[in-house]
Structure 1
Amino acid sequence: MALLDGYDATVAAMIADIDGARHHVHLLVYIYAADATGRAFTDALLRANARGVRCSLLVDALGARAGWRAFADTLREAGVEVVQALPMGSLMAVLKGKSARFDLRNHRKILVVDGSIGYIGSQNVIDAESMPGLPNEELVARVTGPVVSELQAVFLADRYLETGDSNFGIDSFPPMQEQGPHVAQMLPSGPGYGTQNAQMALISMIHHARSEVVITTPYFVPDEAFLQALQLACYRGVDVHLVLSQRIDQRFTQAAQEAYFGVLLDAGVQIHLYRPAFLHAKHVTIDDEVAMVGSTNMDIRSFALNAEAALVIYDREVVARMREIQRRYLASSEPVVRAVWQQRPLHTRTWQNLCRLADSLL
């Protein structure tokens, strides 16, 4: 298992594995942009298809609108399967149950190559500099071994939901051997499940923490149970660190999450604002034992409305490597000081609290 935190290196590794594919390539992303990175992935899929590799691209209908317009016809004409997840229609189509709800999105990011190599994390198909002056920074796990079959199963289930086709080929699940000492499991979540899987797993892990919890997320708009779990962890002496971006791409969401800072700081949560980039990575470490990385933001939308995918890792070595990445974040972050935060202007407090009222819609 490898943790990849260099944007360009991660894109290059994914494309290199697509170029090495022999049987199939299955790619699921929320954003597939009409930019240089979108073109690079498109060209890699076209090269693989020309070698006789079966390629399937599944993209969210909302997040990948630009890439769909730019590349879907070219890919389809070459023989690549291109499918929209949760396509949206008119209001009448929604009311008749013939179209996806606008607020339900497939936010997963999964790549499976030949059923033996998998990628899971926060990486979309988009240029790092998609926002001028605010480059994206991500974290992705490249995995081999039996856990790849779990990533494959999630991809194929999403594909079946959209196409009704269960003929995915026997080579999608090749015989798997253990590839190393790391133990991991896939954690899918979304409105199609009977429970909020990611939210419940995270809360359980936080309640079991004994010494330290470190959470990295671009969006932090928690529900009450998640917020209470963080407070209780602090009250029993656990060091809780929350790493957020100093600047994010959604001003409304940023104000809403800032509305929670007061209660977090009062409980003892240490908040760190990352300066160099838009920290789009989503991961958690609990003590020295458990880590989680994937597409799940720590917000109500990810917990209840989005289809998400995360990898839970039970391995001290992997946790130690993630801790090294987290320490790099902390070294480049500005701490939120409770006494200073309490002195922010009244109009700022008012705006933040108004945005918080819409937290379930963010």
Structure 2
Amino acid sequence: MGFVQIVSHWLAWVFLLSEWAIRLVMLAVVPFRRTPAAAKGWLLLIFFEPWIGLLLYVLIGRATMPRPRIEQMARVPQALAKVRERLLKHPNIFHPELSPGLEWTGYLAEKLGRMPTFAGNAAEIMVDYDAIFARLVTDIDRAKNHVHLLYFLFIADAATAPVIAALGRAVERGVVCRVLVDSLGSRSGLHILIPKLTALGVEVREMLPVGRFRSKRKRLDLRNHRKIAIIDGRIAFTGSQNLVAADFVGGVTYEELVLRLTGPVVLQLQYIFATDWFLETNGALESGNIFPDPEITGLIPIQALASGPDFPIQNNQRFIVALIYAARKQVKITTPYFIPDEPMLQALQTAALRGVDVHLIVSETGDQVLVSWAQRSYYKELLEAGIKVHLYQTSFLHAKLLTIDDHIGLVGTSNMDIRSFVLNAEHILVIHDPGMTGRLKTEQSRYISNCRSLDLQQWRQRPFRLKLAEHLARLASPLL
């Protein structure tokens, strides 16, 4: 045996032993502080491809937040303590009586997200993509003190050009404009967006920055998925729509739902923005101009529920599961991505078995192939439990809303998937109002009228190759 063959032989043994060492070590490491489903997904990857799995785990798989982030988050309450103290004592901040039997919902949301229900709000449902941009531009042009934008995806394109121009005009009037964009979500366009906004005098920061020399932000999988626009602390926009053209993904046109809000709840969204700004800049936004005296503009009780890896538990998942178990008549979920964890899947199945009319509204076609396959793998279980699955035909329905009976509606940025429950910074608005809930249900009925409803027998007859692809994708669902 020649020298080269000997070296190759030993290298092969070293490689083989290293793979088994990785498998055995990670068998002890991966399950730590992780759900069984997530642990199963990581271990499956590592056992098949040890070195690739280890590399991905180091990049995106660790179960703890980076220490600098934990320490910075711990300083938020003190940095914004004066704001909370002043606002909670204001006469226009009061907690309304909620629907009988549902008082606990406001209490639970407050315990999870630390924000109470505020009465006195007005809300407008907006679904026209271009009209949402136009209304935002109009409000920015009327701004007198500040404009705050926090978006997962903000791209400088033809659709957002009027928004960027409005920010420039606002700066010229002396209005302070601050923009937060997710580093990875907006990565493809940051090299254009940031210089353009900076040249206009806009203060812009990347959220959760990623890069070779950004060692304090090593978790590439932790993203800020929120979408909030605030003008003068008086007007807010939030919902599913990013700042990007509706057709930014080839072959897909996005359809959205956004709320334009006025009233005290705007200050809760402002608090979320101020928290994220502090986490990225160490600067506390606490002045009376940033948090003006709240105004009563309507009759709707609303509270914001923030969630994400900065919180000790999965706020949005816990609250939504609790609502599903509490439903008595109907549950309607509209989401672009449906990859539930086991508790949510069981809650939906149990609700249907109790006689609750449960509907899931998702798009027929997706914008992410692997996610779409994994999502489809759940339809059979849902249909067998009596849950109605509706596939939207008109466009890619990106709206994110949920209605429970006739009393509670949820609108926000959170998808019904494991990523939104565990890894993304998200928020939802909890709307404790039958009238507003009815308007949201009207939108969901409109969606259903443009859907193809699945039939269990027909779904069972789909080709085996599709079933195989769907269930293989499902194995990776905790990692998506």
Give the TM interval when normalised to the shorter protein: over 0.9
Within 1, Cα distance between the matches of 2:195 and 2:428? 31
Is the contact made by 1:42 and 1:71 (CA closer than 8 Å) also made in structure 2?
A: no
User: Deviation per CA, 1:30-61, whole angstroms, max 9, x where unpaired?
Assistant: 01113112322211111111110000000000
Runs of at least 5 residues in structure 1 that lack an aligned partner in the other structure: none
Q: Which residue of 2 aligns with 1:361?
A: 479
The one-letter amino acid paired with 2:169 is R
1:219 to 315, 333, 337: 337
Within 1, Cα distance between the matches of 2:218 and 2:316? 22
Aligned residue runs from structure 1 range 31-110, under 5 A: 31-90=153-212, 94=215, 98-110=216-228
C-alpha RMSD over aligned residues: 1.2
Is the contact made by 2:155 and 2:193 (CA closer than 8 Å) also made in structure 1?
A: no
Deviation at 1:15, TM superposition (A): 1.3
- What's the % identity of the aligned pairs? 46
Q: Which residue of 2 aligns with 1:14?
A: 136
The one-letter amino acid paired with 1:47 is R
Say if 1:337 and 1:282 are closer, same or farther in 2 by CA, change over 3 A.
same
Q: Which residue of 1 aligns with 2:419?
A: 301
Deviation at 1:277, TM superposition (A): 0.5
Tell me, yes or no, if structure 1 residue 112 matches structure 2 residue 234: no
- Secondary structure class of the residue paired with 1:88: coil
**Structure with the higher strand share, 1 or 2:** 1
Within 1, Cα distance between the matches of 2:352 and 2:330? 9
Within 2, Cα distance between the matches of 1:228 and 1:15? 43
Within 2, Cα distance between the matches of 1:100 and 1:187? 26
Within 2, Cα distance between the matches of 1:194 and 1:257? 27
2:319 to 181, 191, 201: 201
Is the contact made by 1:34 and 1:66 (CA closer than 8 Å) also made in structure 2?
A: no
Structure possessing the higher radius of gyration over alpha carbons: 2
2:152 to 30, 44, 49: 30
User: Deviation per CA, 1:93-130, whole angstroms, max 9, x where unpaired?
Assistant: 54xxx124110000000011000101110010011122
Aligned length: 358
My pick for the range that moved more, 72-81 or 197-206, is 72-81
Deviation at 1:167, TM superposition (A): 4.3
**Structure with the higher helix share, 1 or 2:** 2
- Secondary structure class of the residue paired with 1:350: helix
Deviation at 1:233, TM superposition (A): 0.3
Aligned residue runs from structure 1 range 202-281, under 5 A: 202-281=320-399
The one-letter amino acid paired with 2:133 is V
Aligned residue runs from structure 1 range 309-328, under 5 A: 309-328=427-446
Is the contact made by 1:217 and 1:282 (CA closer than 8 Å) also made in structure 2?
A: yes
Q: Give me the TM-score of the superposition, normalised by structure 1.
A: 0.97
Within 1, Cα distance between the matches of 2:384 and 2:473? 20
- Secondary structure class of the residue paired with 1:110: strand
Is the contact made by 1:49 and 1:80 (CA closer than 8 Å) also made in structure 2?
A: yes
Within 2, Cα distance between the matches of 1:100 and 1:123? 27
User: Deviation per CA, 1:122-161, whole angstroms, max 9, x where unpaired?
Assistant: 0100111223442110011111111000000000100100
Within 2, Cα distance between the matches of 1:133 and 1:275? 14
Tell me, yes or no, if structure 1 residue 178 matches structure 2 residue 291: no
Deviation at 1:68, TM superposition (A): 1.8
Q: Give me the TM-score of the superposition, normalised by structure 2.
A: 0.73
Q: Which residue of 1 aligns with 2:276?
A: 158
Within 2, Cα distance between the matches of 1:301 and 1:105? 9
